[in-house]
Amino acid sequence: VKMLKLVFISLCVVALCLAKPATRDVSFNDRPIIHTTTGWLQGTTESCGLFCSYYSFRGIPYAAPPVGQNRFRAPQPHPGWSGTRDASEHGASCPSGSRLSRVVNEDCLFLNVYSQDLVGRRAVMVWIHGGSFSGGNGDSFTYGPDHIVDDNVVMVTINYRLGALGFLSTEDQHATGNYGLKDAIMALRWLRANIANFGGDPDNITIFGESAGGAAVHYLLLSPSARGLFHKAISQSGSALNPWAFQTNPRDVAFQLARDLGFNNIQTTEQLINTLRTVDPMRLVEATPGSMDYPIVRGIRPIPFVPSVDPPGTTGDEVFLPRAPIDIMRDGQFTQVPYITGYTSAESLVMIRELLLDPSVFPTVNANPELMVPFWWNVAPGSAAAQSISRQIADFYWNGVQLHNDIREQWTHYLTDLMFVWGIDQTVRLHASRQQQPVFYYRFSFDGSLNMIKRLTLLTAYPGAVHADDIFYLFSVTSIPPPLLPTNEAIMTRRRMEVSFNDRPIIHTTTGWLQGTTESCGLFCSYYSFKGIPYAAPPTGQNRFRAPRPHPGWSGTRDASEHGAGCPSGRNVETNTNEDCLFLNVRLFLVKEVIYLLLSPSARGLFHKAISQSGSALNPWAYQPNPREVAFQLARDLGFPNIQTTEQLINTLRTIEPSRLIQAVPSPMQYPIVRGNFPLPFVPCMDPPGTTGDEVFLPRAPIDIMRDGQFTQVPYIAGYTSAESLVMIRELLLDASVFDVVNANPELMVPYWWNVAPATAQSIARQIADFYWGGVPLHTDIREQWTHYLTDLMFVWGVDQTARMHAARQSQPVYYYRFSFDGTLNMFKRLLLLTAYPGAVHADDLFYLFSVTRFPNILPPTSDAATTRRRMVRLWTNFARFGNPTANQDTLIQVNWARMTNANEFLDIDTQLIPGSNPFQERMAFWNRLEAQYG
Any domain includes 361:
no
Highest mean pLDDT among 45-54, 257-266, 616-625, 737-746: 257-266
439 vs 934, more confident: 439
Which parts of 775-884 fold into alpha helices (H)? 783-791, 797-809, 827-831, 864-882
- Compute the average pLDDT of residues 837-847: 91
Please state the rounded mean pLDDT for residues 246-252. Answer: 95
Q: Which domain holds residue 15?
A: 1-25+499-588
Does one domain contain both 234 and 213? Answer: yes
| 652 confidence band (pLDDT: 50, 70, 90) | very high
Is the confidence at residue 222, as pLDDT, over 90?
yes
CB 850 within 8 A of CB 15: no
**Within a domain: residue 508?**
yes
Q: Identify the CA nearest to 564 among candidates 514, 610, 613, 598.
A: 514
> Are 577 and 704 within one domain?
no
Mean pLDDT, the chain, as a whole number?
84
Task: Give, in order, the Cα–Cα distances in Å from 144 to each of 89, 200, 216, 471, 526.
Answer: 14, 18, 20, 10, 22
Q: Are residues 849 and 786 in the same domain?
A: yes
pLDDT at 89: 93
Burial class (CB in 10 A: 0-12, 13-18, 19+), 533: buried
Which residue in 256, 244, 77, 226 sits closest to 164, CA to CA?
256
Coil, helix or strand at residue 113 = strand
What CATH number should be reported for the domain holding residue 320?
Answer: 3.40.50.1820
Rounded Cα distance, 399 and 382, in Å: 21
The residue from 484, 510, 532 where one domain ends is: 484
Does the residue 95 lie in any domain? yes
Amino acid at 300: I
Name the 3-class secondary structure at 46. strand
- Contact of 563 with 531, CB cutoff 8 Å: yes
What's the alpha-carbon Rg for the chain, to the nearest Å? 30
The pLDDT of residue 324 is above 70: yes
Same domain, 91 and 230: yes
368 pLDDT more than 70: yes
424 and 473 assigned to the same domain: yes
Total of domains in the chain: 3
Alpha carbon distance 389, 375 (integer Å):
12
Provide the pLDDT confidence category of residue 293 given band limits of 50, 70 and 90: very low
321 occurs within a structural domain = yes
**Residue 750: closest CA among 731, 776, 769:** 769
Residue 50 banded pLDDT, cuts 50, 70, 90: low
pLDDT, tens only, 882-932? 899 998 777 889 999 999 987 788 999 999 999 998 888 899 999 999 998
In this structure, the answer to whether residues 734 and 757 fall within a common structural domain is yes
Residue, of 682 and 353, whose pLDDT is higher: 682
Q: What CA–CA distances, in Å, run from 550 to 172, 281, 534, 539, 820?
A: 77, 60, 10, 10, 42
**Residue 673 binned pLDDT confidence (cut-offs 50, 70, 90):** low
pLDDT for residue 292: 45
| pLDDT tens track for 508-535 | 788 888 887 766 554 334 556 788 888 8
Instruction: Determine the pLDDT at residue 729.
Output: 80
Name the domain boundary from 544, 567, 588.
588
- Co-location of 733 and 860 in the same domain: yes
Is the pTM above the cut of 0.75? Answer: no
The confidence score (pLDDT) of residue 502 equals 33
Domain assignment present for residue 98? The answer is yes
Q: Given this model, what pLDDT does residue 12 score?
A: 31
Q: Which of 216-225, 307-316, 599-608 has the lowest mean pLDDT?
A: 599-608
pLDDT greater than 90 at residue 241: yes
Q: In the prediction, which pLDDT does 291 show?
A: 40
Sheet with 33-36, strands from edge to edge, namely: 33-36, 39-42, 84-86
Query: How does residue 238 score in pLDDT terms, banded at 50, 70 and 90?
Result: very high
pLDDT value for 255: 95
How does pLDDT run across 528-578, given as a tens digit for each residue?
A: 678 888 888 888 888 887 888 888 888 888 888 888 888 887 654 455 788
pLDDT for residue 72: 97
Least confidently predicted of 261-265, 373-377, 586-590: 586-590
Are both 50 and 146 inside the same structural domain?
A: yes
For residue 99, being part of any structural domain is answered with yes
Work out the average pLDDT over 479-501.
Answer: 36
- 183 and 245 share one domain: yes
pLDDT at position 513: 80
Confidence of residue 92 (pLDDT cuts 50, 70, 90): very high
The answer to whether 90 touches 58, Cβ cutoff 8 Å, is yes
Binned at pLDDT 50, 70 and 90, residue 494 comes out as: very low
Per-residue pLDDT at 18 exceeds 60: no
Please give the pLDDT value at position 592: 42
CA distances from 399 to 152, 365, 422 (A): 51, 15, 20
- Report angle CA 476, 481, 487 to the nearest 5 degrees: 75
The number of beta carbons lying within 10 Å of the beta carbon of residue 231 is: 18
Cβ-based burial of 551 (10 A; exposed 0-12, middle 13-18, buried ≥19): middle
Q: Note whether 876 and 851 are same-domain residues.
A: yes
How many alpha carbons fall within 13 Å on the CB side of residue 926?
17
Is residue 429 in a domain?
A: yes
State what percent of residues in the chain have pLDDT above 70.
85
Q: Are 895 and 886 in contact (CB under 8 A)?
A: yes
- Is the pLDDT score of 228 beyond 60? yes
Mean pLDDT of 775-796: 91
The larger pLDDT score, comparing residue 857 to residue 501, is at 857
pLDDT for res 162? 96
Shared domain check, 427 and 567: no
pLDDT tens digits, residue range 177-214? 999 999 999 999 999 999 999 999 999 999 999 999 99
Whether residue 24 has pLDDT greater than 50? no
Mean pLDDT of 44-51: 75
DSSP string over 183-199: HHHHHHHHHHHHGGGGT
Angle formed at CA 541 by CA 540 and CA 544, multiple of 5 degrees? 60
According to DSSP, residue 678 is labeled P
Among the candidates 521, 553, 588, a domain finishes at 588
Sequence-separated (6 or more) residues with CB below 8 Å from residue 718: 595, 611, 612, 616, 799, 802, 803, 806, 814, 815, 816, 817
The answer to whether residues 101 and 188 belong to one domain is yes
Does residue 609 lie in a domain region? no
